[in-house]
Structure 1
Amino acid sequence: RKVALSVGLMNLLACPFGAMPMCHGAGGLAAQYRFGARTGGSVVMLGIAKIVLALLLGRSLLVWLQAFPQSVLGVLLMFSGLELAMVCRDQTARTDFFVMILTAGACLAVNTAAGFVIGWLMAAALLWGVFRIEPPPNRPL
């Protein structure tokens, strides 16, 4: 809740000055955690390092970043994704697992907005009893 309030307040204050709306960056936080960050100080140090690099190197930093191998970025993104996927270990109920797979499939097949809406509607339908997900009946051999 604290993160949501701080990010929401930041967006409300910064957007009138031309800033782009931002989220809390779950992928970035997962990557930082995966690579050892455990306190808020790590995010502060990262922010300070980025500001110093931008002030000292300016446009030459952009050239260096564009030359950075995309394969390395892909590996870092993979580890970040794996860290976020670890949440799935807690999905033990059939309904939770079904909603998760349905949402992910819709995101991949259509787009993120459609995946969100489809997943939310299915979760609501399951919660309200419109649908039920039953285990398959046991059949004797």
Structure 2
Amino acid sequence: MLDKMRDFYKGDEITKIDVIRKLRTPIINLFGTYPLYYSFGIIETYFEGKWKDIVVDMLSKEGVIEIKPNTSPKQYRLTPKGVDLAFYFINWKNSEETQILNLRMYRLTRVMVTLTIGLFILGIIPLIFKLPLLEIISFFK
């Protein structure tokens, strides 16, 4: 994963970073315990190997979590900066769900418009060819 790290990312590439994607769920889970409880192992379960300690130390150094001193295993909780990050992650998650729902509504709208136009054309055919409606109705029986 170290080979994927770069000095900078464009704004639209931030969601493609594996660490950020993996960090979203544990930060939201930590938000559920804020500010009363210290937690342990929540962040570590999402990362394997040496990344467990690296991510926890990085978050502590950046001021996102506060580590309780002299505890084994490391116990931590969110700081106010971490709460802001949790809100960002919650909004990000909700926006992804909204995009999926928007796509589904777009498809449904296209189907409804297509059916409406098709039924309109079927309804106007008798008027164009001056067919009596009774003959068309008896045709479908």
TM-score (norm 1): 0.25
**Structure with more of its chain in helix, by fraction:** 1
TM-score (norm 2): 0.25
